[in-house]
Amino acid sequence: MNYTNFDRVAEVYDRTRAVPMETITILTREINNKLRTTFGSPPYQILSLGIGSGRVETYLSSPNNHLFGIDISELMLKELKKKNMVENISILQADACNLPFRGKFHLTIAVHVIHLIQYQEVFLNEIIRTSQMVIFGDVFTDAYQSKLYSYFLDILSTFGWIKKESKSISNYIETTMINQGFEVEEFSETINDFQTHASIFESLQKRYFSWLWDVPEPIYQQAMKLLEQKIRDEDINLNESYGTTSSVNLQIFKQLDD
Ligand SMILES: C[S@@+](CC[C@H](N)C(=O)[O-])C[C@H]1O[C@@H](n2cnc3c(N)ncnc32)[C@H](O)[C@@H]1O
């Protein structure tokens, strides 16, 4: 297990990964449609792996959708429990690679989680054992459209540090799931959004982005100094907003009939 410790960002997680309500509505509408067309009338049992603070998954729970949320981070779950929409959610601290369930859920969902799992094979075996339909996805406001974010990645690359992308993980997952008798469908929808330079700067400066936790300290410190210099040289007003987008990207796997 390659558990990246989200305890360190639990208190700021929702604020620093915020997406517009419209994006969350796109996610819940798509998932509820899939549940209805696949299984007919509710109720449905949904398992969220790596539910964290429930930033987006909380909105999937309803009297029709019983949501089980598991996460390995005690402090992320503590944030989830503070919310006032949790009465239909069963919350459990557990590892997604060792699920404490026997039966099958209608749906298992993992939002922004698979890149954190080291033993993908064990993870997928657990999901296949416990799910009829599986959704992997991301719900995010695009940081790459921030010039500060791009500058920082460029600066890091001059030190020989390149941010890893997770495309190869999703190719592996797709092939494995198809071999295990699932069909795959992609869903993607994007809306316009905006952000302030200050919010990106704060996440870089306080290392709120989880990928920054892998950057060696001396490289990170030097890169941050160069970024601050660039902000001064270009006279960037951190309080200004810039246009970006917010997206829901899903890979939906449905078990084919035997
Ligand atoms: C990037 S956060 C995403 C949280 C939430 N799904 C969202 O989209 O807002 C990843 C979450 O996965 C959890 N996580 C990482 N590895 C895990 C594992 N092996 N089992 C359960 N949860 C895990 C982390 O603790 C963290 O809360």
* Strand 182-196 relative to strand 241-255, pairing: antiparallel
On the question of pLDDT at 169 being above 80, the answer is no
Give distance in angstroms: CA of 116 to centre of ligand 1.
8
pLDDT of residue 164: 85
On the question of pLDDT at 26 being above 90, the answer is yes
Mean pLDDT lowest for which of 139-148, 151-160, 170-179, 228-237? 170-179
pLDDT of residue 167: 65
On the question of pLDDT at 1 being above 50, the answer is no
Q: Write the CB contacts of 120 (distance below 8 Å, at least 6 apart in sequence).
A: 114, 169, 172, 173, 176
3 state SS for 167-217: HHHHHHHHHHHHHCCEEEEEEEEEEEEEEEHHHHHHHHHCCCCHHHHHCCH
Residue whose pair of structure tokens reads 């960037």 in the numeric block: 236
Q: Which domains does the chain have, with CATH numbers?
A: 6-141+164-194+245-255 (3.40.50.150)
Q: What percent of the chain has pLDDT over 70?
A: 97
Residue whose pair of structure tokens reads 């054992």 in the numeric block: 129
Testing ligand 1's pocket by substitution, the residue of 98, 111, 116 carrying the most ligand atoms inside 8 A of its CB is 116
Instruction: Give the whole-angstrom CA distance, residue 216 versus residue 202.
Output: 19
pLDDT of residue 240: 96
User: What mean pLDDT do residues 175-182 have?
Assistant: 95
Nearest CA to ligand 1 atom 25: 73
On the question of pLDDT at 8 being above 90, the answer is yes
Residues whose beta carbon lies within 6 Å of some atom of ligand 1: 1, 3, 6, 49-52, 55-57, 70-73, 76, 95-97, 111-113, 116-117
pLDDT of residue 168: 64
